[in-house]
Chain A
Amino acid sequence: TQLLEQSPQFLSIQEGENLTVYCNSSSVFSSLQWYRQEPGEGPVLLVTVVTGGEVKKLKRLTFQFGDARKDSSLHITAAQPGDTGLYLCAGRPAGTYKYIFGTGTRLKVLA
């Protein structure tokens, strides 16, 4: 059972457009991570956020952790074809070591 819901599930946009992916839960997480996965490969970490309200930037990607540590967003500015992939959020419930992954957002950026 997935505790983390991502939206949208699919997104197809033109190169240069902006987009936001959301990751929502009713549970509180000690930390939250975003990964990107390409076909035939394992997910690769993009960022970890640990403090409520925290904002982190990685080039054209901006990540935000909700104040209550229950939700997060990923904003991509001026998307490039190389951004194409499956984006996954993963939260670590308080008091556990495991990471629960979201349902995933499949992004396709057209040249």
Chain B
Amino acid sequence: GAGVSQSPRYKVAKRGQDVALRCDPISGHVSLFWYQQALGQGPEFLTYFQNEAQLDKSGLPSDRFFAERPEGSVSTLKIQRTQQEDSAVYLCASSPRQTGELFFGEGSRLTVL
């Protein structure tokens, strides 16, 4: 499709497991953002990429969270040793420029038991 694609849509993990969430942005989009959204809340910024460069990772909550975009297109958000407080929807967004409209995927809902 032409939109931002995220996988998996739903992920259930046992506490302590590692998870990887994938984002396929719109082709040619320079900017890529990851956000964490708790139920009924606004999205919280995690990290920002411009092409393959991670320019801002100030929102990553701990060193268990790691994101990469090695070739400037697909991005992966990895969470190591998951905790219950990591349960949330993880949203990926891309943008054709450094600033401007964000195009969001449908999100990956992570539940940690």
User: Contact residues of A with B, CB < 8 Å?
Assistant: 2, 4, 6, 30-31, 33, 35, 40-45, 48, 86, 88, 90, 92, 96-104, 106
Contact = CB atoms under 8 A, between A and B. Distances in A.
Interface string B63-100: 00000000000000000000000000001010000111
Interface of B: 4, 31, 33, 35, 40-45, 48, 50, 55-56, 59, 91, 93, 98-102, 104-107
Contact of A101 (B35, B50, B55): B35
B4 A48 contact: no
B105 A97 contact: no
Given A88-B43, A97-B55, A40 B106 contact: yes
A100 B48 contact: no
A42 B45 contact: no
Contacts of B43: 43, 88, 101
Contact of A42 (B42, B44, B56, B93): B93
B104 A31 contact: no
A65 to B, nearest CB: 15
Given A31-B99, A99-B33, A103-B42, A44 B104 contact: yes
Nearest to A96: B56
B48 A98 contact: yes
A18 B98 CA distance: 36
Contact of A41 (B31, B35, B102, B106): B106
A99 B42 contact: no
Nearest to B104: A42
